[in-house]
Amino acid sequence: MASLQSLSYLNNCKNVVCLHEYRSSKCIARSYKMCSDEVSCRKLRILIAGGGIGGLVLALGAKKRGFDVKVFEKDLSAVRGEGLYRGPIQLLSSALAVLEAIDQEVATRIMEAGCITGNRTNGLADGLSGKWHVPSHATFATYDLEKPAVERGLPVTRVICRMALQQILLHGIGKDIVCNNSRVVNFIEDSSRVTVILDDGRTFEGDVLVGADGIWSKVRSKLFGAQEAVYSNYTCYSGLTDFVPPYIDSIGYRVFLGLNKYFVASDVGNGKMQWYAFHKEPPKSSDPPSGKKKRLLQLFGSWCSDVSTLILETPEDKILRRDIYDRDMINSWGNGRRVTLIGDAAHPMQPNLGQGGCMAIEDAYQLIHELNNVDMRNADERSQLDQISESLIRYQRKRIFRVKTVHKVSRLASEMLSKYKPSVDFGLSKLSNVFGAQITNSAIHMARKFIQWCFQLFMNWMLAGLLIYTILLKVLSSYNR
| Extents of the domains making up the chain | 2-13+39-117+157-228+330-417, 231-326, 425-480
Return the CA Rg of the chain. 24
- Residue 14: predicted pLDDT: 45
Residue 458: C-alpha distances to residues 105, 145, 409, 466 (Å)? 30, 11, 10, 8
CA dist 129 and 388 (Å) reads 55
Q: How many CB atoms lie within 10 A of CB 475?
A: 9
Query: Among 207, 199, 159, 160, which residue's Cα sits nearest to residue 182?
Result: 199
Using the Cα atoms of residue 146, residue 148, residue 151 and residue 156 in order, give the sign of their dihedral.
negative
Taking the C-alpha atoms of residue 395 and residue 397, their distance in angstroms, rounded to an integer, is: 6
H or E segment to which residue 463 belongs: helix 441-464
CA angle 117, 119, 120 (to 5 degrees): 75
Residue 449, pLDDT score? 67
- Under a CB-based contact definition with an 8 Å cutoff, are residues 415 and 260 in contact? no
Given its phi and psi angles, is residue 343 left (phi above 0), alpha (psi -120 to 50 degrees) or beta? left
Topology given in CATH for the domain delimited by 2-13+39-117+157-228+330-417: FAD/NAD(P)-binding domain (3.50.50)
Helix axes of 93-102 and 53-64: crossing angle, nearest 10 degrees: 30
The pLDDT value given to residue 308: 97
Q: Which of 275, 236, 239, 234 is nearest to 411 (CA)?
A: 234
The CATH number corresponding to 231-326 among 3.40.50.2000, 3.30.9.30, 3.40.50.1820, 3.30.60.50 equals 3.30.9.30
CA distances from 118 to 91, 92, 240, 267, 464 (A): 10, 8, 20, 11, 14
pTM metric for this prediction: 0.84
> In this predicted structure, what is the pLDDT of residue 450?
65
Beta strands in 395-445 (DSSP E): none
The mean pLDDT values, 10 residues at a time, for the chain of 481 residues are 44 44 33 36 88 96 96 78 64 94 96 96 89 56 86 92 91 93 94 95 97 96 94 94 94 92 94 95 92 96 96 94 94 93 96 90 96 84 90 95 92 79 45 37 56 76 59 44 46
Write the CB contacts of 446 (distance below 8 Å, at least 6 apart in sequence).
none
Q: Do 2-13+39-117+157-228+330-417 and 231-326 come out as alike in CATH topology? A: no
Q: Which of 322, 321, 323, 325 is nearest to 348 (CA)?
A: 325
- The set of long-range contacts for 76-85, using a CB threshold of 8 Å and a minimum separation of 24, is 76/51, 76/170, 76/178, 76/180, 79/51, 79/52, 79/166, 80/162, 80/163, 80/166, 80/167, 81/163, 82/52, 82/162, 82/163, 82/166, 83/161, 83/162, 83/163, 83/166, 84/320, 85/238, 85/320, 85/322
* Those residues with Cβ within 8 angstroms of residue 450's Cβ, 6 or more apart along the chain or in another chain: none
Cβ neighbours, 10 Å, residue 463: 26
Q: Are 65 and 32 in contact (CB under 8 A)?
A: yes
| Whether the Cβ atoms of residue 463 and residue 156 lie closer than 8 Å to each other | no
Closest CA to 239 of 295, 304, 289, 280: 295
* Distances, alpha carbon 390 to alpha carbons 224, 269, 342, in Å: 20, 44, 16
